[in-house]
Amino acid sequence: MNTIKTAALMALLMAIMVAIGGALGGSSGATVMLIIALAMNFITYWFCDTMVLKSYGAEPIEREQAPELYGLVEKLAANADLPMPRVAIIQSDVPNAFATGRNPDHAVVAVTTGIMRALNYNELAGVIGHELAHVKHRDILISTIAATMATFISYAAHIAAFFALRDEQRGAVHAQRMRGVMPAGGCQPDSDGHFPFPGV
């Protein structure tokens, strides 16, 4: 079911981008946005774990670097009948943990040093078990795509505001030029019924 949701979200993101491209640049704009949307969907699907880890400054670890944490994740993954995910640590005092990756075979569980200090073994097991539940139900890719959509919509709103402001400024300049061309008392027809304009 979540696979269908993921495909639907990716299709929706593409449709939104193409619609915005068409509104701003016609058929050429729609084509450009279609290409960008395809690239974004490809990158989001295949490299979502790498992007998320880099955005948080998470460092993947091996068993030797944090044996207790690594062993805990390994034990919980085995209990949930999941492949062993990669484990990453974020150097941050903020208590936090999350899972990312496109599917259970390519999942990553990341925790901050803050949550490792704040929680005991059993409490941390509860948090990591919750994250592994997201992996098992394939929620993590949906969350990543949803975040990508939110980011794009935010940028699109800024771009639309820029174009709207530019069009408004152009309209104001055009109005000023027209006022400079039109006579102060308005344009009156000559004896032949024509409306003369300066310089014509």
Q: Cα-flanking dihedrals φ and ψ of residue 63, to 5°?
A: -55, -40
DSSP letter at 189 equals -
Q: And the tokens for 172?
A: 């104001």
How far, rounded to the nearest angstrom, does the alpha carbon of residue 114 sit from its chain's CA centroid?
26
As annotated, the active-site residues are 131
For 51-75, b where at least 16 C-beta lie within 10 A, e where not — what string? ebbeebebeebeeeebeebbebbee
Q: Which of 59, 61, 71 is nearest to 124 (CA)?
A: 71
CA–CA dist 120, 190 (Å, integer) = 93
Q: Which of 101, 6, 115 is nearest to 50 (CA)?
A: 101
CB atoms within 10 A of CB 109: 27
